[in-house]
């Protein structure tokens, strides 16, 4: 080769999404004809409910196939405002919303609008894989707050305070959490809010799993705690997880108006509007009766109970209670440093790769979430897949 297009340092140093990488490996094995029990992906196995698909078809038929306002259609913004008012008593106006190509894009807009070189962003670990890379792309420095399994992977106000410097600008709050399923209660959130207010932090509150809450747990949306929090919170949500709409790519932010205006301008230069048809589908999702959400939640709840039981029955594995989302994050430390099927396994990455190779079960290594010694299994897979997958995980561990 005589010429190679040079790649920028910033993109060279970018780590690909580990969850997508594991799911690509699982697909590769599937394409060789083997059945793979895939617990790696963070997406509901349900198809998008028919009334939402029909709204998209109707949108196409009625000509909603052109550019929309870059920050989204007014009808959808209004529906989002109404939903937050009804569900959480939160009063926002439509100028505070930017609708984007999925919640990941919303997070990207929020970070690029507020974070620059020299800014530190506090992130509790285990964290969702994209926060770190997006902060680095913006020139910011991620500062890790190490949480403990013994405290259900919850960060405490004291831990946040310890990490604060003159350069601290933002705190990431993912509630319920991907990858652990941890859910903060009101008191814990109040303690976090208190530090944020005293230390002048912006909060990026990622609440994409707010409708997937189990048992007697109660979800509290962060800005409901205190009016002063709304000035410093960028709230993230979307339709991907609640309505089984991962492929439609609709997410949004609530933020102070000046931030929303700038995020809208950023988006207008980078991507223009999110897909017009998807916006009409999201409008239907939010405004139609919510029975489909309740049905999916029931199924997730049954799977969550099943997965928790199986994990705690397998030799040496443990995981804290999953209050929300659809992930179990289990401890494999007892098994590291041992041989599985003749192969030495010292890291969560090796564990996941061998589990996939030897038992065709796809999971994601804890190290991808900044937490070695753990494995994430998604229970957004049907119960038969979960049963076989956990039989195989038990076999992998107990008959090695
Ligand atoms: C915590 C968290 N935030 C944001 C996203 C992104 O959602 P979307 O598919 O709408 O971009 C995900 C998806 O996995 C997630 O788990």
Predicted pLDDT at 15: 80
Tally: H helices and E strands in the chain: 13, 14
Q: If you average pLDDT over residues 166-171, what whole number do you get?
A: 98
* Residue that the structure tokens 């079960």 belong to: 361
311 exposure class (CB count in 10 Å sphere: 0-12, 13-18, 19+): buried
Give distance in angstroms: CA of 394 to centre of ligand 1. Answer: 29
- Residue partners of 348: CB distance under 8 A and separation at least 6: 332, 336, 365, 366, 367, 372, 373, 374, 375
pLDDT confidence bin for 13, thresholds 50/70/90 = confident
Query: Nearest Cα to 108, choosing from 225, 274, 227?
Result: 274
Query: Nearest Cα to 119, choosing from 185, 79, 167, 166?
Result: 167
Nearest CA to ligand 1 atom 1: 178
Q: Quick check: CB of 174 below 6 Å from ligand 1?
A: yes
Summarised one tens digit per residue, pLDDT across range 43-78 is 999 999 999 999 999 999 999 999 999 999 999 999
Summarised one tens digit per residue, pLDDT across range 210-244 is 999 999 999 999 999 999 999 999 999 999 999 99
- Residue partners of 30: CB distance under 8 A and separation at least 6: 36
> Could you say which DSSP state residue 247 is in?
G
CATH topology for the 50-287 domain: 3.40.640
Q: Comparing 241 with 30, which gets the higher pLDDT?
A: 241
Largest CA distance in the chain: 64
User: Which residues on adjacent β-strands are paired with residue 375?
Assistant: 330, 365
Q: Quick check: CB of 104 below 6 Å from ligand 1?
A: yes
Q: Quick check: CB of 103 below 6 Å from ligand 1?
A: yes
Query: Nearest Cα to 83, choosing from 305, 273, 238?
Result: 238
Which two structure tokens, joined as six digits, stand for 246? Answer: 């991962």
pLDDT confidence bin for 98, thresholds 50/70/90 = very high
pLDDT confidence bin for 36, thresholds 50/70/90 = very high
**Residue from 17, 103, 274 whose mutation best tests the ligand 1 pocket (most atoms within 8 A of CB):** 103
Residue pair 95/145 in contact (Cβ under 8 Å)? The answer is no
Cα-Cα-Cα-Cα dihedral sign, residues 199, 188, 128, 252: negative
Query: Using CA atoms in the order 385, 391, 397, 400, what is the torsion angle rounded to 10 degrees?
Result: -110
Distance between alpha carbon 181 and the CA centroid of its chain, in Å? Answer: 10
Residue pair 300/212 in contact (Cβ under 8 Å)? The answer is yes
Percentage of the chain modeled with pLDDT above 70: 100
Predicted pLDDT at 212: 98
Vertex 323 angle, CA 318 and 326, to 5°: 80
Please give the Cα distance from 137 to 173 (Å, whole number): 19
**Coil, strand or helix at 380:** coil
Summarised one tens digit per residue, pLDDT across range 169-225 is 999 999 999 999 999 999 999 999 999 999 999 999 999 999 999 999 999 999 999
305 exposure class (CB count in 10 Å sphere: 0-12, 13-18, 19+): middle
337 conformational bin, left if phi > 0, alpha if psi -120 to 50, beta if neither: left
Whether 368 has a pLDDT exceeding 70, the answer reads: yes
Summarised one tens digit per residue, pLDDT across range 113-136 is 999 999 999 999 999 989 999 999
Predicted pLDDT at 1: 67
Whether 89 has a pLDDT exceeding 80, the answer reads: yes
Evaluate if pTM is beyond 0.85.
yes
Summarised one tens digit per residue, pLDDT across range 261-282 is 999 999 999 999 999 999 999 9
**Coil, strand or helix at 319:** coil
Which two structure tokens, joined as six digits, stand for 119? Answer: 């800014």
Q: Quick check: CB of 44 below 6 Å from ligand 1?
A: no
**Residue from 240, 243, 278, 364 whose mutation best tests the ligand 1 pocket (most atoms within 8 A of CB):** 240
Give distance in angstroms: CA of 60 to centre of ligand 1. Answer: 26
**Coil, strand or helix at 328:** strand
- In the chain, what are the domain boundaries? 9-47+292-398, 50-287
> Could you say which DSSP state residue 369 is in?
G
- Helix locations, the chain, DSSP H: 9-12, 18-31, 50-61, 74-88, 103-114, 129-137, 157-163, 186-198, 257-270, 276-287, 291-313, 348-359, 383-398
Q: Which CATH class is domain 9-47+292-398?
A: alpha beta
Whether 19 has a pLDDT exceeding 80, the answer reads: no
**Residue from 101, 175, 178, 208 whose mutation best tests the ligand 1 pocket (most atoms within 8 A of CB):** 208
User: How many other CB atoms are there within 10 angstroms of residue 221's CB atom?
Assistant: 20
Summarised one tens digit per residue, pLDDT across range 320-367 is 999 999 999 999 999 999 999 999 999 999 999 999 999 999 999 999
Q: Quick check: CB of 281 below 6 Å from ligand 1?
A: no
Predicted pLDDT at 265: 98
Distance between alpha carbon 383 and the CA centroid of its chain, in Å? Answer: 22
**Which own/partner pairs from 357-361 qualify as long-range (CB within 8 Å, at least 24 positions apart)?**
358/396, 359/37, 359/392, 359/393, 359/395, 359/396, 360/29, 360/34, 360/35, 360/36, 360/37, 360/392, 361/36, 361/37, 361/39, 361/389, 361/392, 361/393, 361/396
């Amino acid at each position: 080769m005589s010429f190679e297009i040079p790649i920028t340092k910033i993109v060279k140093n970018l780590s690909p999404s580990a969850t997508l990488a594991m799911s690509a490996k699982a697909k590769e094995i599937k394409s060789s004809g083997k059945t793979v029990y895939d617990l790696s992906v963070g997406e509901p196995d349900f198809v998008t409910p028919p009334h939402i698909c029909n709204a998209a078809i109707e949108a196409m038929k009625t000509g909603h196939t052109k550019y929309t306002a870059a920050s989204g259609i007014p009808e959808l913004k209004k529906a989002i405002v109404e939903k937050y008012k009804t569900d959480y008593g939160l009063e926002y106006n439509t100028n505070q919303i930017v609708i984007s190509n999925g919640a990941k894009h919303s997070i990207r807009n929020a970070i690029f609008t507020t974070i620059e070189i020299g800014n530190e962003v506090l992130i509790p670990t285990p964290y969702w894989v994209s926060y770190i890379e997006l902060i680095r792309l913006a020139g910011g420095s991620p500062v890790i707050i190490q949480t403990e399994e013994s405290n259900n992977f919850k960060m405490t106000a004291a831990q946040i305070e310890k990490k604060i410097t003159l350069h601290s600008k933002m705190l990431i709050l993912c509630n319920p959490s991907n990858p652990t399923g941890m859910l903060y209660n009101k008191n814990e959130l109040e303690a976090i809010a208190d530090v944020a207010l005293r230390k002048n932090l912006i909060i990026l509150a990622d609440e994409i799993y707010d409708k997937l809450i189990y048992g007697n747990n109660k979800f509290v949306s962060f800005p409901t705690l205190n009016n002063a929090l709304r000035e410093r919170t960028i709230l993230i949500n979307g339709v991907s997880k609640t309505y089984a709409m991962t492929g439609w790519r609709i997410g949004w932010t609530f933020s102070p108006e000046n931030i929303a205006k700038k995020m809208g301008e950023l988006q207008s230069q980078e991507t223009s509007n999110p897909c017009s048809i998807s916006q009409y589908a999201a409008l239907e999702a939010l405004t139609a009766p919510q029975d489909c959400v309740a049905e999916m939640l029931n199924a997730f709840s049954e799977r969550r109970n099943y997965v928790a039981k199986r994990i705690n029955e397998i030799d040496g594995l443990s995981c804290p209670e999953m209050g929300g989302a659809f992930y179990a994050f289990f401890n494999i430390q007892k098994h590291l440093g041992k041989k599985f099927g003749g192969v030495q396994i010292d890291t969560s990455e090796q564990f996941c790769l061998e589990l996939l190779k030897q038992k065709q079960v796809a999971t994601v290594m804890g190290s991808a979430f900044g937490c070695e010694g753990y494995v994430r299994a998604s229970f957004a897979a049907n119960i038969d897949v979960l049963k076989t997958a956990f039989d195989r995980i038990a076999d992998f561990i107990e008959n090695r």
